[in-house]
Amino acid sequence: MAQKPSIPKGTRDFNPEQVAKRNYIFNTIRGAFETFGFQPIETPSFENSDTLMGKYGDEGDRLIFKILNSGDYFDKIKNGILSAIRIGEMFYLELSKDEINSIDWLRRESRNQIVQNFLKVSKHGGKNSIKNLPPDDVLDYIISTIHGNYRNLESSPSDDERQKVFADIYANTFLNIKSNSITPSISEKALRYDLTVPFARYVVQHQNEIEFPFKRYQIQPVWRADRPQKGRFREFFQCDADVVGSKSLWQEVEFIQLYDTVFSALKLDGVTIKINNRKILSGIAEVIGASDKLIDFTVALDKLDKIGEEKVKEEMLSKGISEDGISKLQPLFTLSGAFESQIESLKGILSSSQEGLKGIEELSFINNAISALGLSTSTLQLDVTLARGLNYYTGAIFEVSAPETVKMGSIGGGGRYDDLTGIFGMKNVSGVGISFGLDRIYLVLEELGLFPETVTKNVEVLFINFGDNEALFSLKAIKQLRLQGINAELYPDTAKMKKQMNHANKRQIPFVVLVGDQEIESNTYTLKNMISGEQDKVSLETLMSKIKKS
């Protein structure tokens, strides 16, 4: 039985019309990037796992697609599993160290390698690891653990009780294989999660070739093992622009203008560019006594618009933030009004935090500049609950919302990161960047009917194929039409006239050209308008003119 074709959840096929519409968005964004002085780069679809892991927080790390090593990737861990099973069997039998040392397979193999294999796949390879102990100490540690459990029983346990103790230890300790400890052994590469971390790697790797400040843009797909839903996919394109090597706040000002330029060009009026500053969030955490829980605090706060105030408070409590501290946050949940009035309120809340006041100063600078320069169709809005859960933002944070008439998540975002390249050994290189959510922008434009009709421009003229002589004559004309920028093609087969005409109708091709013996003799073409039905015998020049005017 033939296999039913399918694609993975969270991925999509795109038909010609959809590709044309996506290219319209790509080209609009690319044009704005280049107008603002950004240069294109590209990075590989996959990176070394250690390049990506640990850069996005625990939630992000879980969403990274790992790539299995080629070849027999299981070979590196099967010895570890076998060692775990053998060690478990030894202790199940409660053998003494002398008896263990007499076992043939243990004498034959490296004692150190057996223990290391065991630690690779067992829970003992975790944070409270014993993996740095000598092999004999590891074995002693495990033996004492077993004997300790055994001694907890009555002095004369039944065989069933004794068996249960060792069965539990065997199952819960020796065969408790953790996927996180195995993954590095079977997967050394991963699909990129975003474009920012690969960009940081690129900057460090090519620092001697780059002129700083370096303004780059990148339009490529990324992958996340997320739960698919409307506007959220496992494979999607990001359109990023970043500047590294400058701490100037004028870069933030330009990025706000860049957002406004793109959405104005797409005729997407009513977009809101939300802004916050990570220093303000740090200041708030300081004021409520939760500086040591900044990440937990910001991750929870960032979910306010998704799960609501009460759920956010519950999450903060579960992360160890005190009720007294959470009560001090109450003014934030109700903060609203104009940018300037919110800034004044924040000055009162953060009066005791130098870090928070620095964030207010930076936001005020940006707002004053945008007020003086003006925006065409977008609105700049301060949102102090905007956190974005990524660990690397240190200054301004951006998030772009679609017009209120459309129910859609953010369609763009970004922020300032003062030392992202530091994770690759290049310290004190400040950067700031933004991203456009191509797929969500597409859905918004589609819902609002904002794609121009010309976006899906198809073949403009189809030449009917009556035979080899007629086809060759037609292709000479088609060559000239294409040189003039007119999309033209020849029907490839000498099929019935009706079939060829139906093909033109189904593809919504507006003109059809018929070439027979008479047309070849007179060096003319019969041009038929498929919309009006009008049909004329014309020269090649007239044919070109009529098609161009349509």
Annotated binding site for L-histidine: 194-196, 224, 238, 242, 388, 392-393
CA distance 489 to 479: 9
Q: Which of 123, 264, 195 is nearest to 431 (CA)?
A: 195
C-beta of residue 462 within 8 angstroms of C-beta of residue 511: yes
Q: Report CA-CA distances (Å) from 407 to 292, 349, 401, 402, 448.
A: 36, 33, 10, 8, 11
Residue type (1 letter), 356: G
Give the residue among 162, 174, 188, 225 at the shortest CA–CA distance from 70.
188
> Tokens 């622009």 appear where?
241
Give the Cα separation of 149 and 98 in Å (integer): 21
Strand ranges inside 393-447, DSSP E:
396-401, 412-417, 431-437
Both tokens of 372, joined, read 């003086």
- At residue 322, what is the residue type? S
State the pairing for strand pair 235-244/46-48.
Answer: unpaired
Spell out where 17-94 has E strands: 39-40, 46-48, 66-67
Across-strand partners of 250? none
The first and second tokens of residue 431, run together, are 């950067």
Owner of token pair 């690969």: 198
Max CA separation in the chain (angstroms): 114
What is the rounded distance in angstroms from the CA atom of residue 469 to the CA atom of residue 106? 84
Q: State how far the Cα of 550 lies from the Cα of 536, in Å rounded to an integer.
A: 15
Read off the amino acid at residue 304.
L
